[in-house]
Structure 1
Amino acid sequence: MSDFAKSLEVSSSGLRAQANRLRHLSENISNVDTPGYRRKLVSFETAFVSDDMPATVKTSPVRLDQSELETVYDPSHPLASEAGEYQGSNVNLLIELADAKEAQRSYEANLKMFEQTRKMSAGLMDLLRR
């Protein structure tokens, strides 16, 4: 397999991993006010395809954040106990937005690498045709 193909495979695995991360971050953000919702956590791991291919990245199975759920006081809420409290979510909007910005930047970096490799490959093909 050519070095160009290897480079494209590495950058495309990064694109897939960051897209998956962004999907779960957006789910967390959209459920910030959902009672009982636990934040989804995504981490990355190395994926080996074969001996002649460089290591790529993939997302590990999704885990749920086990930190305590926020206690919300609202006696009018249908889920409220007799004390007027219910369990909110453990999503911190500030953390989710910062993680989303980081994932977006990583996605853009992988996309730039993919585009640059494609341009170099096209340039090489043009040189070989001459």
Structure 2
Amino acid sequence: MSAFSKALGVSASGLKAQAYRLQIVSENVANTDTPGYRRKTITFKSEVERSGLPKVAVDAVKLDRREGERIFEPGHPLADKDGHYIGSNVDLVIEIADAREAQRSYEANLKMFDQSRQMSSGLMDLLRK
């Protein structure tokens, strides 16, 4: 396997990992107002394929342990005898920050992928001459 193929494989695994991270963030944002919803968090790990190619993989998707906000709304179907129910524990500021970080990581992997592709193409052009 050439160094170009390895670089493309590594950056492709990074692209997949960050795309999945953005999916988790979007699920959290979509469920901001869902009572009892717990924010999902994602962790990554480094793996080595059989071919010896390193890659980024999802380690685990876990639920945030923080309690949701107690909301006072006596008419809500989930309200207890005191008129409170537990809302989600999603903080939009944190989700926006996570989304931006994932976007920047995705862009960095995309640039690495594109640079490797351009270098490989340039090498092929040189070899044809």
TM interval, shorter chain, is: over 0.9
Letter of the 1:124 partner, please give it: L
Write out per-residue CA displacement over residues 14-65 of structure 1, whole angstroms, 9 at most, x where no aligned residue. 0000000000000001101100000001011011113642x21111121111
Q: Distance in 2 between matches of 1:3 and 1:50?
A: 16
8 Å CA contact 2:44, 2:59 repeated in 1 = yes
Equivalent residue runs for 1:85-100 within 5 Å: 85-100=84-99
Q: CA deviation at 1:69?
A: 1.5
5+ long unaligned stretches in structure 1: none
Q: Normalised by the size of structure 2, how large is the TM-score?
A: 0.96
Equivalent residue runs for 1:20-39 within 5 Å: 20-39=20-39
Q: Normalised by the size of structure 1, how large is the TM-score?
A: 0.95
Q: Distance in 2 between matches of 1:28 and 1:16?
A: 19
Letter of the 1:126 partner, please give it: D
Please, what is the CA RMSD of the aligned residues? Answer: 1.0
How many residues are matched?
129
Equivalent residue runs for 1:6-17 within 5 Å: 6-17=6-17
Q: Find runs of 4+ consecutive structure 1 residues off by over 6 angstroms.
A: none
Fraction of identical pairs, as percent: 58
Letter of the 2:83 partner, please give it: G
Q: Partner residue of 2:104?
A: 105
Q: Distance in 2 between matches of 1:2 and 1:51?
A: 12
Are 2:76 and 1:77 equivalent residues in the alignment? Answer: yes
Q: Distance in 2 between matches of 1:93 and 1:52?
A: 40
5+ long unaligned stretches in structure 2: none
Q: CA deviation at 1:81?
A: 1.1
Q: CA deviation at 1:82?
A: 1.6
